[in-house]
Structure 1
Amino acid sequence: MLDETRILGSEEWCRLEDMGIPAIKARVDSGAKTSSIQANKVKIFTKGLEDWVRFEVNPLQDNRSISILCQAKLYDVRSVKSSQGISEERPVIKTPVTIGEHTFEIELTLANRDTMEYRMLLGREAINERYLVDPSKSFGQGNVSQEEISRKYKPYMTEKSGLTLGLLASNPELYSNKRIVEAGELRGHKVVFLNVENVYMKLDAGSPEIRYRGGNILDKFDAVIPRIKPSVTFYGCALLRQFDTLGVYCLNSADAISKSRDKLFASQLFSKNDIHIPITGFAKSPMDTKDLIRMVNGSPLIIKLLESTQGKGVVLAETNKAAESVINAFKSVQTNILVQEFIKEANGQDIRCFVVNGKVVASMQRQAQKGEFRANIHQGGAASLIKITPEERKLAIKSAKVLNLDVAGVDIIRSNRGPLLLEVNSSPGLEGIENATGMDIANVMIETIEKKLKYSH
C-alpha cells in the first residue's frame, strides 16, 4: 500500500521558514522543471564577496497588504520560458521547504506571478524521488484553514491602508488630473502626481529602476494612471513598460496607448474586427490624390493628421479641388494624413462614450458650433446627456476591447447606415462628460484599479 505521506495533490500548502513565510499555497506542476515563487521588487546586491537577492513576496493571492521582505544567497540566474513561450532571465535561490511532515531543500526561481492563481509553483525537480502526484486530490499533505491563515499572518497584518497610485501626466492643474487625485484620496489612497518629463529609468536585467527628479526611486506604487499627452507618447509609453516590468499595474498599457495613437493602425484593426468606420483612405504618393478622393465618395471630405487629437489637425474640404490642394500640401511636407468620407446626415453631432473596464459608464452627445463640422467641446461645442442604443453600446465596448484599453473615450457618429466609429481616445478628458452626465467617472476609474488589484476597504 502506498505511503499516504508521499502522495501530493494538485495543490499543496508549503512552509518556507528561512524566508519567514508560514504558509503559501503551491500548484503542483510536474510539467514545469523548476519550482518558482511570486516575487516583486527583485534586487541583486553584494554581501561580502557573494551575490545575494532581496525581494518581496505577497504570499496570499487576494491580499496585497501582506508583503514579506525576503533575502537569500543568489544561486544562479537562469533563462526560463514562461507559459506564453517567452524566455526571460530569472534569479534562482535555494531554500528549505516544508510540506506536511517533510522538509527538504529546493531551487526556486523568482518570478512575477501576480496574474497567476497560485503564488508558488512546485516543479518536478522538487517532486522527483520524493512524491507521487494524484491530480484528483487537493492538499494530500494537509489543508490549512482560514482561521489558521489569519493566525499565522497576524504578525504581518497592519492597519488597512490605501493604495499608492501614481498619476503619470504633464499638468497637475488640468480638471481631469485634479479630479483623479481627489477621487483617489476620497477613497483613502495616496495619489502622487508624476510629471512624465521628470521621470527616468534604469534598464538592467538584475535591478531595473524608475527614478524621479533628484534621484528618488519610485518603488512603492501599486498602480499607475497614465494621462499622457500626444507630444510625449513615445517617452510616456516607455515609462509604462518600465513600470510594468517592475510589477506595477497600469490603467491602460503602453501597447494599448500606442495602438490608439496610431490612427492608421487603429483603423486597420477596426476594419479587421468588423467595426464600421467612415470610408477611409491613405496614400503616400501625390500621383494618386484624385483616385483617393473618389475612393472615399468625393467631396466634401475630412482630412486629418495621423497624430491629430481633440479635433486639432482635422480639416473639412468642401470641394474636390480644395481637397486636392490640402492633400498635396500636406504630402509636400512629408506629413501623413488620412482622408475620410464626410457624414453629412450627422449634422455636426457625435457621441462620446466613456468606457471603463469593458462597460460604458457614461455617454454624451456633442454638437458643433455653427459653422463648424466637428462636434468638439474643446473648441466651444455643446455637450448634453444622451441615451445610446444597444448597437452603439456594443460598438463602444468592442472598440475599446480591440485596442485592449481599460479606459477609453469612444467617439461615434450616427449615419444612414448605422453607427460608425470615429476614433478611440486613450486619455479622454473628464470635464465635459462629468458636467454633462453628473457621473463621478474619476471614482469609477479608481474603483477599477481596486478591482484589478483585488483591494478591499
Structure 2
Amino acid sequence: MMDNIVASEEWCKLEELGIPAVKARVDSGAKTSSLQATKIKIFSKGLEEWVRFEVNPIQDNRSISILCQAKLVGLRTVKSSQGIAEERPVIKTLVTIGNQDFDIEVTLANRDTMEYRMLLGREALNERFLVDPSKSFLMGDISEDEIEVLYKPYMRKKDGLTIGLLASNPNLYSNKRIVEAGQARGHEVVFLNVESAYMKLDAVAPQVRYRGGNVLDKMDAVIPRIKPSVTFYGCALLRQFHTLGVYCLNSADAISKSRDKLYASQVFSKNDIHIPVTGFAKSPQDTKDLIRMVDGAPLIIKLLESTQGRGVVLAETNKAAESVINAFKSVQTNILVQEFIKEANGQDIRCFVVNGKVVASMQRQAQKGEFRANIHQGGKASLIKITPEERKLAIKSAKALNLDVAGVDLIRSNRGPLLLEVNSSPGLEGIENATGLDIANIMIETIERKLKYKAV
C-alpha cells in the first residue's frame, strides 16, 4: 500500500527530457502538472510541432541548465493561484516516482517565482496515488551530495557568471569599477547601453535583443545603473530580463518607487520612517498654507525628478518661497516642499546598503555658501561612524522600497536621524575614496550569493 502513497513533495525523474532528478510539489488541488521552463520556442519537425526549452531543475541554481525538446501536444490556458490566465505549451513525457514509471501531460510554465521546479497535479495522481500532505519524500529522498553526482555532467564549463551592466556611460567611475570587480572574480561582465537594447514581447518566446539583432539569452544577472532620463525604458528592460529568469540587482518596481519622490515619501511615512516634514499641493491657492505646514522659511523646494542635488532650492524667506513655488507650478512642474533642518549645518550622511546591510558610510560637508552637501558640486566626503539608530534607519529605508542596493541619505536633527532620500543607482567614487572599501566587489559577491554561485 505504501507504494501508492506520495507525500507533499517528491523527487521525480524525467528520463526522456534528460532530467535525472527534480523536486516536485504534489498538489491535488491543481488539475494539471507543470514544469518551470525558460526560453520556450515552438518549432516544426517534419509535419509535427515540437517545443524546445531550458530547465533549471535545481531551485535557486541557474548554473545548471538542461536543454530539452518534446513533441507539442497543444496549448492550454491555465489560471495561476493569483487568478492570472496564461497560455502554456503542453507536452507528454515519462515520469518516474519511486519505482513507478508512467506518462503524464505537463504544461511549460515560464514563471521563475515557482517555489518548486515541478508541480504534480491530480491528472497525474488519479487512480495511481493517495496523498499524505503531512509527509515528505515517501518515495525516497535525494541528498545534496547525490544531486551533485547526478548533475555533474550538466555543470557549466565556463568559470564564471555572465553579468550585464545596464547603464548609459561605460566610462563613468562606478561602471568601470563594477566591470573590473566582476572580471577580477572570474566573471564576464558585458556593458549594455540601455538605449541600444530592445525587446520581443511574446508569451511563448520573449527576448531581449541588443544592437544588430544579438539575442541576450546567456545572462545570469543584470546590474541596473539607469540614469533618471531613461527610467521608464530601463525599467521595462529589467521587467523583460526578469521574465527570462535573469536575476536583477534592484528590480524595476523598486527603482520606479525610488525615483518617484512623492510616492517614496508616502511609503516612508507608512513604514514609520522619519523624514523632514514634507508637503505637496497642486493648486497655487494653497501655497501659503503649504509653507506654514512645514514651519515656514527657510525651507527646501525639490523637483520630483531631481537627482544628485540638482533641482533642489533653498528659499530663505516666506516671500521668496511663494515666488519659487508659484513659478514652478505655473509651468506645470511637480515639486515637494520640505522643512529645512538648520542644525545639520550643511552636513549629511550617505549609507551604502547592500542586501540588507550597511556596508559603508561617509559624511558629506557642503561647500562654503551651499546649504546641502553634494560631492558632485564641490562638497567634501569623509569617513564617519554611524550610530545604531542611523544604521537601523538606513536598512529600514532600503527595505521599504525593496532595494538590494541603495544609497541612503540621512541627516542629523535635534529630534534624531531623519531620512532625506534613497538613491537606487548610488555612485561608488565618493564612498570608495572616503572609506577605502571595495564596494563594487561587495555588489558582485551579493550576486554570487543570490545565485548560489561557487567558483570552480
Name the TM-score class by shorter chain. over 0.9
Contact 1:35 1:122 in 2 (8 A): yes
TM-superposition CA deviations, 1:30-89 (whole Å, max 9, x none): 122211112122222233343322111122235432211001122233333334443333
Match of 1:168 among 166, 180, 193: 166
Equivalences for residues 283-298 of structure 1 within 5 A: 283-298=281-296
Contact 2:352 2:361 in 1 (8 A): yes
Q: CA deviation at 1:393?
A: 0.9
Instruction: Report the equivalent of 1:218.
Output: 216
Match of 1:378 among 363, 372, 376: 376
Letter in 2 for 1:261: R
| C-alpha separation in 2, matches of 1:411 and 1:93 | 52
Q: CA deviation at 1:452?
A: 1.2
Equivalences for residues 85-124 of structure 1 within 5 A: 85-112=83-110, 114-124=112-122
Moved over 6 A (4+): none
Match of 1:40 among 38, 47, 62: 38
Letter in 1 for 2:188: K
Instruction: Report the equivalent of 1:251.
Output: 249
Instruction: Report the equivalent of 2:303.
Output: 305
Cα 1:87–1:395 change in 2 (3 A) is farther
Give the secondary structure class of the aligned counterpart of 2:31.
coil
| C-alpha separation in 1, matches of 2:155 and 2:421 | 46
| C-alpha separation in 2, matches of 1:145 and 1:447 | 27
Equivalences for residues 324-363 of structure 1 within 5 A: 324-363=322-361
Structure 2: gaps (5+ residues): none
Contact 1:37 1:113 in 2 (8 A): no
Q: CA deviation at 1:116?
A: 4.2
Contact 1:113 1:119 in 2 (8 A): no
| C-alpha separation in 1, matches of 2:400 and 2:262 | 14
Equivalences for residues 23-422 of structure 1 within 5 A: 23-61=21-59, 63-112=61-110, 114-146=112-144, 148-159=146-157, 161-422=159-420
Q: CA deviation at 1:276?
A: 1.0
Letter in 2 for 1:13: W
Give the secondary structure class of the aligned counterpart of 1:75.
strand
Give the secondary structure class of the aligned counterpart of 2:78.
strand
Structure 1: gaps (5+ residues): none
| C-alpha separation in 2, matches of 1:173 and 1:4 | 64
Contact 2:110 2:243 in 1 (8 A): no
Contact 1:352 1:363 in 2 (8 A): yes
| C-alpha separation in 1, matches of 2:80 and 2:393 | 34
Q: Which moved more, 1:273-282 or 1:368-377?
A: 273-282
Q: CA deviation at 1:160?
A: 5.7
Match of 2:17 among 19, 41, 61: 19
Cα 1:147–1:349 change in 2 (3 A) is closer
Q: CA deviation at 1:145?
A: 4.6
TM-superposition CA deviations, 1:235-268 (whole Å, max 9, x none): 1011111111111111111111111001011111
TM-superposition CA deviations, 1:193-226 (whole Å, max 9, x none): 0000100111111211111010101110011000
Q: CA deviation at 1:164?
A: 0.5
| C-alpha separation in 1, matches of 2:155 and 2:209 | 29
Cα 1:89–1:302 change in 2 (3 A) is same
Letter in 2 for 1:389: T
| C-alpha separation in 2, matches of 1:146 and 1:229 | 42
| C-alpha separation in 2, matches of 1:436 and 1:147 | 45
Give the secondary structure class of the aligned counterpart of 1:449.
helix
Q: CA deviation at 1:353?
A: 0.6
| C-alpha separation in 1, matches of 2:396 and 2:80 | 29
Identity of aligned residues (%): 85
Give the secondary structure class of the aligned counterpart of 2:403.
coil
Q: Aligned-residue CA RMSD in angstroms?
A: 1.6
TM-superposition CA deviations, 1:331-387 (whole Å, max 9, x none): 111111111111100000000011111111111100000000001111110001111
Letter in 2 for 1:377: I
Residue 438 of structure 2 corresponds to residue 440 of structure 1: yes
Contact 2:304 2:336 in 1 (8 A): yes
Contact 1:65 1:160 in 2 (8 A): no
Cα 1:149–1:327 change in 2 (3 A) is closer
Q: CA deviation at 1:290?
A: 1.3
Q: Which moved more, 1:275-284 or 1:224-233?
A: 275-284
Cα 1:120–1:262 change in 2 (3 A) is same
Give the secondary structure class of the aligned counterpart of 2:151.
helix
Letter in 1 for 2:423: N
Q: CA deviation at 1:101?
A: 2.3
| C-alpha separation in 1, matches of 2:51 and 2:373 | 56
Give the secondary structure class of the aligned counterpart of 2:12.
strand
Q: CA deviation at 1:25?
A: 2.0
Contact 2:62 2:220 in 1 (8 A): no
| C-alpha separation in 2, matches of 1:168 and 1:112 | 23
